[in-house]
Structure 1
Amino acid sequence: MASSAVPPNHSDGSKHRKHYLPLESNPDVFTQLIHRLGVSKNLVFQDVYSLDDPDLLSFIPRPALALVLVFPTATETYEKEKAAREAAREEYHGKGEEEDVVWYRQTINNACGLYGILHAVSNGPAHLFIEPESLLSRILTKCIPLAPTERALALEDSEELEHAHHAAAVQGDSVVPQSAEDDVDYHYVCFVKSHKNGHLYEMDGSSKGPIDRGALANDEDVLGEMAVSVVKEYLGREEDGNVGFSLMVLVQDGA
C-alpha cells in the first residue's frame, strides 16, 4: 500500500477536514479510478519496470502521457532535501488560463495517489481524453478558475470524488488500513508535459506549487532522457538505491 500524509494543517491553519484511505500503487487500481472519473478507456496505467533496459521500455506504448512515482518519505534524506527546497520557493497562486499546468494543492490526508492521478489526467495530451459531462470534466470546469486554496476546498467538498476514490481504495491486493486517519510513509509525485509550453513539470500537491523542470523537445515525452534523469534524482537520493520505489506510466492502450 502506498500513499502519504500531507502536512497536518491547511495553509489557513485549520486541521484536515477529510481523510481518505490510501490507494495501492497498482496500475489496475489507478486505471479503474481514472475510468470511474470519466477518462476514456483508451488510457491506462502500466508499471515501468526499468528506466535503463531498452527491451523492457520497448513494451511501453508511446507517447508516455504522464509518470507517477511512488517513493518512501520516512527518511532523513527526503525530509531534509524537501524542506530546503520548499523554503527557497514562493507560494504558487496560478489559476485559470494563466496556468501552464493545472496544479492541485493536497489538503486531503492520505490522498496523494488521487492527486497524482488528477495531475496526470488534467495536463498534457491526457486532458483530451476526458469525457464531456463526466465527473472529471465537471471538476475541471469548477476548479480551473479558482486559486489554489479555493481549488483545494472544491476537491474536498466533492462527495462524488470521495466515493469514486473510496471504491478504488478498497481494491487491490494490499491490506487496507483500519482508519483513513492512519498515516503511511509513501508518497506519489507526478511528472507531466505541459500542453501549453511543452515544459516538464514535477507535480506534488504537498509542495508550494508545480516545479518547472525545463523545456522538452516537441517530440519528447515523459519517458525521454530529460524526464528519466529527473526520476533518477529521486532514486539516487537514498543510500539503499531504489528500495520502496515504483513507477507507473499513463499511456494510450493499443489493444
Structure 2
Amino acid sequence: MEPHRWLPLEANPDVSARPGRWGAAFLKQLGIHPDWQFVDVYGMEPELLSMVPRPVCAVLLLFPITEKYETFRTEEEERIKAKGQDVKSSVYFMKQTINNACGTIGLIHAIANNRDKMNFETNSSLKKFLEDSLSMTPEERAKYLETYEAIRVTHESSAHEGQTE
C-alpha cells in the first residue's frame, strides 16, 4: 500500500514566523487562540535566546535527515522494541506514518503536551482531534491522523503558502 504523503511545509522564517504568514494562519485554522505564536530562535547563546518572547511552551527543531541520523533512529527504535521504554502516561506522542507531516506532527506534540496552557477556540479541529485520540496508542493516533481531514486540509493550505517553486 502506498504511504500517505502530504506536501512539505516550508522551513522559512519569512513564511512561518511573520504575523499573517502560514504560522499564524495555521494555528488559527486549527482553532488555537491567537495568544500563541511561532517565533524563530537564531541560536542557543544567551543573547540570542533573550530575544525570544516569554513564556515559551515548546521548541520545534528543524534538522536535516542524514544517513547517520537514520542509522541512529533505526538502532534506537530496535533498542526500544527489545528493552521497552518508560514513558509517563501524561506524555502525548504519535508515530509519523505520513510523509512530509513532521512539522504538523511536531506542532501536534507541542500543543498536546501543553494542553493546560492552550486556549482553544470553540470549534477547534485540533482540540477535537486531541480529545478523540487521547486514549489511543501512538500507532492508533497516527492512523487516526491519516483520516482526519480537517488537519490534512490545514496542512495542505499552509504548504501552499511557501515561497518554494
Task: Please report the TM-score for the alignment, with normalisation by the length of structure 2.
Answer: 0.83
Q: Cα distance, 1:150 vs. partner?
A: 2.1
Give yes or no for contact 1:120–1:126 (8 Å, CA) kept in 2. no
Name 1:215's counterpart in structure 2.
none
Q: Equivalent residue for 1:148?
A: 138
Q: Deviations over 1:163-222 (max 9, x none)?
A: 1111100012223xxxxxxxxxxxxxxxxxxxxxxxxxxxxxxxxxxxxxxxxxxxxxxx
Contact 2:94–2:137, Cα closer than 8 Å, also in 1: no
**Pair 1:122–1:105, CA change in 2 (3 A):** same
- The whole-number CA distance in structure 1 between the counterparts of 2:11 and 2:37 is 14
Q: Deviations over 1:20-72 (max 9, x none)?
A: 000011433233212210111110011101101x3322121122110111111
Distance of aligned partners of 1:159 and 1:92 in 2 relative to their CA distance in 1, 3 Å threshold: farther
Match of 1:72 in 2: 64
Question: How many residues in Structure 1 have an aligned counterpart in Structure 2?
Answer: 156
Measured in 1, the distance between the counterparts of 2:141 and 2:86 equals: 11
Aligned AA for 2:38? F
**Residue 92 of structure 1: CA displacement?**
7.0
Provide the C-alpha distance between the structure 1 equivalents of 2:71 and 2:138, rounded to a whole number of angstroms. Answer: 25
The residue number in structure 2 matching 1:117 is: 107
SS in 2 for 1:69: coil
User: When you count helix as a share of all residues, which structure comes out higher?
Assistant: 2
Q: Which residue of 2 aligns with 1:44?
A: 37
Matched, 1:84 2:75: yes
2 CA distance for matches of 1:86 and 1:24? 27
Aligned to 1:188: none
- Distance in 1, matches of 2:89 and 2:27, equals 23
Unaligned runs of 5+ in 1: 1-13, 176-255
In structure 2, runs of 5+ residues without a counterpart are none
Q: Which amino acid aligns with 2:10?
A: E
| Residue aligned with 1:72, SS | coil
CA contact (8 A) 1:65 1:126 kept: no
CA distance in 1, matches of 2:44, 2:104: 24
Aligned pair in 2 of structure 1 residues 160, 139: CA closer, same or farther (>3 Å)?
same
1:130 to 120, 126, 141: 120
Please identify which structure carries the higher strand content: 1
Aligned 1:175-214 pairs, distance under 5 A: 175=165
CA contact (8 A) 2:33 2:118 kept: no
Question: Per-residue deviation at 1:127?
Answer: 4.9
Q: Percent identity?
A: 35
2 CA distance for matches of 1:81 and 1:147?
24
Q: Deviations over 1:210-243 (max 9, x none)?
A: xxxxxxxxxxxxxxxxxxxxxxxxxxxxxxxxxx
